[in-house]
Amino acid sequence: SNYAALFTMLASSSARSFALLQRVGFPACGLQTAAAATERSTWFGHVPEAPKDPILGITEKFLADNSPEKMNLGVGAYRDDQGRPVVLPSVREAERRVAGSHFMEYLPIGGLKDFVTESVKLAYGDNAEPVRQGHVAAVQSLSGTGSCRLMAEFQARFMPGSKVYIPNPTWSNHHNIWKDARVAEGIYRYYKPATRGLDLEGFLEDIHKAPSGSVFLLHACAHNPTGVDPTAEQWRQISRLMLEKGHFPFFDMAYQGFASGDCDHDAQAIRIFLADGHRLGCSQSYAKNMGLYGQRVGAFSIVCDNPAEAKAVESQMKMVARPMYSNPPLHGALLVSKILHDKDLKAQWFQEVKGMADRIISMRSLLRKSLEDLGSHWTWNHITDQIGMFAYSGMTAEMCDILASKYSIYMTRNGRISMAGVTTHNVGRLAAAIHDVTKGAKQ
């Protein structure tokens, strides 16, 4: 080690120093070892530091702020009216029943069978024809991110040359997922800033222009980040045109039940597309609607033409998953399957997820009323027109910066408010701060 230290100090500076070390009697083996160590020390010197994730960066700033009134409206995780994390009573009961009842053996690559079966029924409907006839290929996944990643890789392997069309805007990780799978990406119009609503005309035009056989990534409900969802009739228009153009719809459903409080209503887009005869894919996550954020439990499914095709597709799903993570985790899947399989627990969960959705909806109404009572010249109906975890406020990046620096209120710089962080205790202060930064500005 002394040889290596001296070598690093001298030999790296010039060839003459290397020769000097040889003349004064340094063993050749020591020089070779030191040289190899020096080469190895530069293997990753060219690697730049990655940019910080914008959401995690907000949390870091929030944690560093000493204000007792600080607010974190960036992270998409549910909080109660006291601002505390929540574990649903149905989940606690499922934990009690599951504790000590299973070994800790590996799951199969496709995951826990009961979990997958119940997830498919929750997404498509208990009596949906593809479910009854065995046309659905499905595996357990690592929550919504994992499901999307499996779909992206599946597309790369078995839909070669197809592009994925992603809405503008969308959850930022969607771009990363399909980019890492080396799938070409297109963008379709979704949000219209002038109306703070859906750009249906642009959406339909981009569906029509896309090459036939394209994959369209669709948010099933509670669009992230805008909170803007198509109506049932608008979904029917979208479905008919996509069917006509021969596109493949892939639904990312991260908020089933959490948006409206009704799991069937939140799955209406998928049910409409199924009724129209689409073959489609779906990503499910239980992070938001069961509060299982850290358990990383979800499902990935594809509706096929017949049972034989479903069997083949599912086998390839497993082959995609195998080199990524081998098999999914057990505990979260046990909790979900216990809740969905037990009639009473499932009914209890339905009420609890409705309670979370109702609290978010009530905070939207209270925030809008507070802003209007302050005499804001902006219109705020979009806050209550939107649905789900997030409200797309229409504030600029500069306004969001002032909210952080002046009021210790932290959110993403696109003006997205995580409504889960709004409570009856802080909504008045939030409204006053928003009123201050928007006062005099053009909407």
Looking at residue 441, the DSSP 8-state letter turns out to be S
Query: How many Å is the Cα radius of gyration of the chain?
Result: 26
Is 385 an active-site residue?
A: no
* Catalytic, out of 199, 206, 288, 349: 288
Is 171 an active-site residue?
A: yes
- CA 297, 303, 307, 310 torsion: positive or negative? negative
Instruction: Provide the residue type at 143 as one letter.
Output: S
* Catalytic, out of 163, 171, 199, 206: 171
Looking at residue 75, the DSSP 8-state letter turns out to be S
Beta bridge partners of 189: 168
Instruction: Provide the residue type at 85 as one letter.
Output: P
Identify which of 227, 240, 315 has the alpha carbon closest to the alpha carbon of residue 273. 240
In 133-252, where does DSSP find H-type helix? 143-158, 173-180, 200-209, 232-245
Is 288 an active-site residue?
A: yes
- State in Å, rounded, how far the first CA of the chain is from the last one: 67
* Catalytic, out of 199, 206, 229, 252: 252
Report yes or no: 136 and 126 within 8 Å, Cβ to Cβ: no
Which pairs count as long-range contacts for 430-433, CB under 8 Å and 24+ apart, including other chains?
430/71, 430/73, 430/367, 430/370, 431/367, 431/370, 431/371, 431/374, 432/370, 432/374, 433/403, 433/406, 433/407, 433/409
Three-state SS annotation for 285-318: ECCCCCCCHHHCCEEEEEECCCHHHHHHHHHHHH
Report yes or no: 221 and 255 within 8 Å, Cβ to Cβ: yes
CB atoms within 10 A of CB 166: 22
Three-state SS annotation for 11-32: CCCCHHHHHHHHHCCCCHHHHH
Identify which of 122, 102, 127 has the alpha carbon closest to the alpha carbon of residue 112. 102
Active site residues: 171, 252, 288
